[in-house]
């Protein structure tokens, strides 16, 4: 994709004023279309998060108009529109915390681009924009959507990575507590912090470090890891939830040929 500064768009003051006047309505229409067409957002746009999303849409549209009206086209665009890009990044992090997927977020951007383009282009034509300029204007709209959707995707990925890292640390701490002389109250608190539902049973499995990833992919996702084992630096202890009864057979099959020992 060409740099945003490479698009030859020059809006007259009249067109800029006309577009600026309809930005609030365009923002409302974008949000309405997202609610109607992306199921994960049907109940998401109320309360604090809804206000955050609406603000992000408004900032993104304002950032685009600043860009299209000439601000930053001759210099560093990323420096000319930092609030919009930062807002998109923060939105991505918030969406990850809310449990919505990257696919839902990008679908919302695609719909938003379609609605915004239709209404902004209509205003530009009403203001007398020439066909050749309209082509460049169209290209800039979608390049801008790419720019801010990439920022949101980065924020979403960073939040998921951070959340996953924190949860793993909390679950490692829980595993240590389960193996130590810890009170039931402390264990309950550690389980809540780690977002871990206590099972009926736990099966201890000693596995070589090189096999941990492969085995984890085949067992209960609530499996806990403990790799600080005295005299066994090259092994990890897995605590597998509810691998009893008929499920024991599935666990043993997952361990076949892995040089592992199940308790």
Are 216 and 145 contained in the same domain?
A: no
| Positive or negative torsion for Cα 53, 55, 58, 59 | negative
Q: Which two tokens stand for residue 88?
A: 């998109």
The predicted pLDDT at position 81 comes to 60
- CA pair distance 136, 7, nearest whole angstrom: 6
Between 195 and 49, name the one with better pLDDT.
195
176: which 2 tokens? 């240590």
Q: Order of strands across the sheet with 261-262?
A: 224-226, 235-241, 202-208, 261-262
- Min mean pLDDT across 58-72, 134-148, 192-206, 230-244 is at 58-72
Q: Does pTM surpass 0.85? A: no
Whether 150 and 214 map to the same domain: the answer is: no
- Based on its alpha-carbon atoms, the radius of gyration of the chain, rounded to whole angstroms, reads 26
**Does 206 share its domain with 158?**
no
pLDDT at 229: 84
Domain annotation covers residue 71: yes
pLDDT for the residue 72: 41
Within-domain flag for 21: yes
Q: What is the mean pLDDT of the chain?
A: 84
My answer on whether 141 and 243 are in the same domain is: no
Task: State the Cα angle at 148 between 143 and 151, rounded to 5°.
Answer: 130
Alpha-carbon distances, residue 240 vs 197, 247, 250, 259 (angstroms): 12, 11, 12, 17
Domain closes at, from 148, 165, 182: 165
In this predicted structure, the answer to whether residue 75 has a pLDDT above a threshold of 50 is: no
Q: What is the CATH number of the domain that holds 153?
A: 1.10.490
Last residue of a domain, one of 165, 180, 207: 165
Q: Are residues 66 and 15 in the same domain?
A: yes
Long-range Cβ contacts of 214-219 (<8 Å, 24+ apart): 214/258, 215/254, 215/255, 215/258, 215/260, 218/254, 219/243, 219/251, 219/254
Same domain, 101 and 156: yes
Q: Is residue 186 part of a domain?
A: no
Helix/strand/coil for 261: strand
Residue 135 belongs to a domain: yes
Asked if 78 and 134 sit in the same domain, the reply is: yes
pLDDT at residue number 256: 86
CATH of the domain at 219: 3.30.70
Residue 67 maps to a domain: yes
How far apart (Å, rounded) are the C-alpha atoms in residues 218 and 258? 12
My answer on whether 27 and 96 are in the same domain is yes
Instruction: Answer with the residue of higher pLDDT: 75 or 211.
Output: 211
Give the domain range for residue 140.
4-165
Q: Is residue 179 part of a domain?
A: no
Q: How far is CA 89 from the centre of its chain?
A: 9
**Number of structural domains, the chain?**
2
Residue 212 lies in a domain: yes
- Report the 10 Å Cβ neighbour count for 24: 11
Question: Taking 70 as the threshold, does the pLDDT of residue 3 lie above it?
Answer: no
Task: Pick 137 or 102 by higher pLDDT.
Answer: 102
Residue 39 lies in a domain: yes
Beta-bridge partner residues of 207: 236
Residues 209 and 158 in one domain: no
Q: Are residues 137 and 209 in the same domain?
A: no
The confidence band for 4, taking pLDDT boundaries of 50, 70 and 90, is low
Report pLDDT digits (tens) over 172-225. 999 999 988 889 999 999 999 888 899 999 999 999 998 888 888 888 888 999
Whole-number Cα distances in Å, 115 to 26, 95, 120: 8, 21, 9
DSSP 196: -
For residues 18 and 137, state if they share a domain: yes
pLDDT, position 5: 53
Residue 71: pLDDT band with limits 50, 70, 90: very low
Question: Mean per-residue pLDDT for 22-27?
Answer: 89
Q: Which residue has the tokens 């084992």?
A: 229
Last residue of a domain, one of 165, 182, 217: 165
Average pLDDT over residues 123-148: 83
Q: Are residues 220 and 150 in the same domain?
A: no
- With a pLDDT cut of 90, the percent of the chain lying above it is 22
User: What pLDDT was estimated at residue 145?
Assistant: 87
Measuring CA to CA, which residue among 36, 39, 88 is closest to residue 61?
88
Say if residues 205 and 251 touch (Cβ distance below 8 Å).
yes
């Amino acid at each position: 994709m060409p740099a945003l500064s490479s698009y030859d768009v020059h809006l007259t003051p009249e067109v800029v004023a006309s577009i600026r006047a309809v930005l609030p309505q365009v923002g409302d229409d974008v949000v309405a279309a997202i609610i109607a067409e992306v199921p994960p957002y049907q109940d998401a746009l109320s309360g604090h998060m809804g206000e955050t999303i609406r603000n992000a849409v408004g900032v993104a549209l304002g950032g685009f108009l600043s860009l299209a009206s000439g601000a930053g086209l001759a210099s560093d665009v990323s420096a000319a529109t930092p609030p919009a890009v930062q807002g998109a990044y923060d939105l991505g992090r918030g969406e990850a915390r809310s449990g919505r997927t990257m696919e839902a977020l990008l679908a919302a951007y695609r719909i938003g681009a379609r609605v915004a383009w239709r209404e902004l282009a209509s205003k530009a034509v009403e203001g007398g924009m020439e066909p050749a300029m309209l082509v460049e204007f169209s290209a800039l709209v979608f390049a801008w959507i790419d720019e801010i959707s990439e920022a949101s995707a980065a924020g979403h990925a960073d939040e998921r990575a951070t959340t996953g890292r924190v949860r793993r640390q909390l679950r490692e701490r829980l595993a240590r507590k389960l193996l130590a002389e810890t009170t039931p109250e402390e264990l309950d608190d550690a389980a809540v912090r780690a977002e871990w539902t206590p099972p009926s049973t736990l099966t201890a499995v000693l596995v070589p470090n090189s096999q941990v990833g492969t085995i984890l992919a085949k067992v209960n996702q609530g499996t806990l890891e403990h790799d600080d084992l005295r005299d066994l630096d090259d092994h990890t202890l897995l605590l597998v939830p509810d691998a009893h009864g008929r499920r024991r057979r599935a666990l043993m099959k997952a361990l076949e040929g892995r040089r592992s020992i199940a308790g």
